[in-house]
Amino acid sequence: MTETQGDLAALSRFIFRAPNWYASLTFALLVAALAGVGAFTSSFPLEDAWQGVFFIGIPTVVASLLTTPVDGWLDGQLTYNRSSLLALCCELIVVALLAVASVLAVLTRLGQNFVFDVLIAALALVFALRLLVVLAVSRNSLLLAAIPASLQTGTAGVLLFVYSGTMRYLTIDVPLLNAYLSRPQSAPSRLLLVTPDDLLLLVGMSVLYALVAYGFVRTMDRPWRQSLGVSGLDFLRGFIGHIAEGTRELEDFFEQIGEDAIVPVTVLSFRRPGGEEKARFVLPMIHPGPMGEIGGGNLPQRVAETATGLAFPPHATAGHDFNLVTEREVDTLVDAAERAAASIEYDREATPRIRTAHGDASLLGQGFGDDGALLVATFAPGFADDIEYAVGLAAAAEARCAGLDDVLLADAHNSNNGLQGDDLGHVVPGSPRSFNLIEGAGDLGSRLADAERGPLSLGVAWDRTVWTPQEGIGPLGVRVAVTDVAGTRACYVLVDGNNMEPGLRGDIVDALVDAHGFDPDAVEIMTTDTHIVNTVKSENQVGDVIDQRELTTLVGDLAGDAVADLEPVEAGIATEHAEVTVFGNDRTETLASHANAVIALGSVLGAVVVAATVLVSALIFLLT
């Protein structure tokens, strides 16, 4: 993840899950009652509270309960929880503005008319804000979005019309209409100041504010449409929907910008001689992102659930441009993995583990059968994040040219300092690190192809752990595989998390060396890079939240269990290819850059628009 992508992901901390609609509605009625006690001056506080609930709370109730069905009728997507929270926020805005206006009216000579002017402006503002949200969430046209957006302001306007006695200014001599549409005797005396001109002004101000809001949205949306061909509102709606409601709307947006790609899916399977599968390493060359369970965010768990034996889904050499656009694409990868597993030719022999280092790239490898190999690359103790797809392809090709056929090249993804510093550790084509990795893979492939082979034994162990995704550990927990070839052992540890805190990988290796006598060159610690741990935090690395000593102890215990589980096995590797839809080259960075730029410029432009709108509103009130 680049710093730009991290800045975008970090915005998720400002998004929260909408409370239940009845909780928002209850709080709204309580606020309305308290506002009534402060605004009205009858002899009984309970009567003032009731008037507050009626004149302030009723528009909120109507908006809460009717916005969702009206919006749904127009093919919108506002839920009851969202619409109730929106209505509550709008009510709070009206109450806050009226409170400030009342204080100013008492302290200055502005008088009661100023309070009603603010009321009209506040109701118009409510309409504009609701229009913004409906446009963002429901993807309707301006005219269609205006229908559900107008419910709160419209209801308040109807109540003002009926209970202010506005009918007395009109020459409509219909007793039935007068009986239902003119009830000034039941209203607080302050409402009698409202005239037809005030209501016409409310309509005009609402239209003005709505046009300003719509113009602001279109201006902010223009860069998205020009460069990506999609609407930024779609991204905003999906992003908020996923974080706040757990919806899949964000995948619809990603599908619009996605590109087709062909990716290798490699499977290394271990089985008891002629029997059932004991363990399986599965490596689709895809990045498990972008976040949560969107796209391939939960790819490791989905892949692991399909294996017969204990599954090890390490991180592939791919960055965020190779995020899947929808979770449905995972099924394509799973199918490819099953085809690969079915085509494996098993062999009893394997090579001892071999480690090689080129520059700051270190690779641990082991050959299985005649021409297959597992390679695990790390840049620890240096800091590294993702290895780009092209670099991984080149490294695997270099290993195959050295005499191997199928190569499972995993990125250990086990040492990073988050988003600190200018160099975020990406291994990109043309960089010194990319050549170190490619040359190391070629050297290791050559050595494995020429290595002596012997009978293979395997032991495995795993623990779901008590840690949660919020603590940086996904549902696969911690898994350990130990191989033994002619008395030479290797230990592969896989933690279901997104990278590791600096130094933790070294501490775990040292602990395994001390506790079980492993050669330090025979141990590698990997993470799956699952993005299920990154729903509300862009940095949530293994060891950031949990106690590192507890994790080290757990890995040591599991390694002991895996050693005790050693038994003869057969192994084999096969690769299939799958055609999936991914974000595409540079799309992730472009998307993040646009979002961050719009946020930065939007705040400034928004302040200018608000200031200009307030000035125009003041002029309108002075001239009317």
468-503 pLDDT, tens digit per residue, is 998 999 999 999 999 999 999 999 999 999 999 999
* pLDDT at residue 247 in the model: 67
- For residue 199, list its beta bridge partners: none
Residue 512 pLDDT class (50, 70, 90 cuts) = very high
Q: What is the rounded distance in angstroms from the CA atom of residue 17 to the CA atom of residue 81? A: 9
Q: What is the rounded distance in angstroms from the CA atom of residue 36 to the CA atom of residue 27? A: 14
* pLDDT at residue 201 in the model: 83
The pair of three-digit structure tokens given for residue 614, joined into one six-digit string: 């307030």
Q: How many domains does the chain have?
A: 2
Residue 615 sits in the same domain as residue 554: no
In a domain, 509, yes or no: yes
538 pLDDT exceeds 90? Answer: no
Which stretch of 65-79, 151-165, 299-313, 573-587 has the lowest confidence by average pLDDT? 151-165
Higher pLDDT, 227 or 202: 202
Amino acid letter, residue 152: Q
The secondary element (H helix, E strand) that includes residue 470 is: none
281 pLDDT exceeds 90? Answer: yes
588 pLDDT exceeds 70? Answer: no
Average pLDDT of every residue of the chain: 84
What average pLDDT score do residues 601-613 get? 70
Residue 189 pLDDT class (50, 70, 90 cuts) = low
Residue 194 sits in the same domain as residue 284: no
Residue 569 sits in the same domain as residue 610: no
In a domain, 602, yes or no: yes
* pLDDT at residue 82 in the model: 83
From residue 503, how far is each of 420, 500, 509, 527 by CA, in Å? 16, 8, 10, 14
b vs e for 212-249, b when ≥16 Cβ sit within 10 Å of the residue's Cβ? bbbebbeebbeebeeebebbbbbbbbbbbbbbbeebeb
Which stretch of 34-43, 271-280, 306-315, 338-347 has the lowest confidence by average pLDDT? 34-43
* pLDDT at residue 569 in the model: 97
In a domain, 256, yes or no: no
The secondary element (H helix, E strand) that includes residue 166 is: none
Residue 36 pLDDT class (50, 70, 90 cuts) = confident
What average pLDDT score do residues 590-609 get? 68
In a domain, 109, yes or no: yes
Residue 137 sits in the same domain as residue 227: yes
The pair of three-digit structure tokens given for residue 490, joined into one six-digit string: 């290797």
Q: How far is CA 44 from the centre of its chain?
A: 51
In a domain, 582, yes or no: no
What is the phi/psi pair of residue 2, to 5°? -80, 170
Residue 112 sits in the same domain as residue 239: yes
Residue 205 sits in the same domain as residue 305: no
DSSP state of 377: E
Structural domain boundaries enclosing 130: 3-245+589-623
In a domain, 255, yes or no: no
Residue 268 sits in the same domain as residue 416: yes
Residue reference for tokens 């070839």: 485
* pLDDT at residue 597 in the model: 67
What average pLDDT score do residues 150-176 get? 70
Cβ contacts of 215 within 8 Å, gap of 6 or more: none
Q: Quick check: helix, strand or coil at residue 33?
A: helix
* pLDDT at residue 62 in the model: 93
Residue 154 sits in the same domain as residue 288: no
What average pLDDT score do residues 109-128 get? 81
Is 298:288 a contact under the CB 8 Å cutoff?
A: yes
Q: What is the rounded distance in angstroms from the CA atom of residue 283 to the CA atom of residue 270? A: 15
Is 509:520 a contact under the CB 8 Å cutoff?
A: yes
Residue 297 sits in the same domain as residue 185: no
Q: What is the rounded distance in angstroms from the CA atom of residue 549 to the CA atom of residue 274? A: 40
Q: Tell me: the pLDDT tens digits for 15-31?
A: 556 778 889 899 989 98
b vs e for 260-271, b when ≥16 Cβ sit within 10 Å of the residue's Cβ? ebebbbbbbbbb
* pLDDT at residue 296 in the model: 75
Residue 192 pLDDT class (50, 70, 90 cuts) = low
Which stretch of 140-154, 201-215, 218-232, 556-570 has the lowest confidence by average pLDDT? 218-232
Which stretch of 7-11, 105-109, 434-438 has the lowest confidence by average pLDDT? 7-11
Residue 20 sits in the same domain as residue 61: yes
In a domain, 115, yes or no: yes
* pLDDT at residue 521 in the model: 97
Cβ contacts of 155 within 8 Å, gap of 6 or more: 58, 59, 62, 63
Q: What is the rounded distance in angstroms from the CA atom of residue 621 to the CA atom of residue 486? A: 91
Cβ contacts of 529 within 8 Å, gap of 6 or more: 287, 288, 289, 300, 315, 386, 411, 413, 497, 498, 499
Residue 278 sits in the same domain as residue 193: no
Residue 514 sits in the same domain as residue 407: yes
Q: What is the rounded distance in angstroms from the CA atom of residue 495 to the CA atom of residue 530? A: 10
186 pLDDT exceeds 80? Answer: no
In a domain, 157, yes or no: yes
Is 284:263 a contact under the CB 8 Å cutoff?
A: yes
Query: Residue 438 burial by CB count (10 A; 0-12/13-18/19+): exposed, middle or buried?
Result: buried
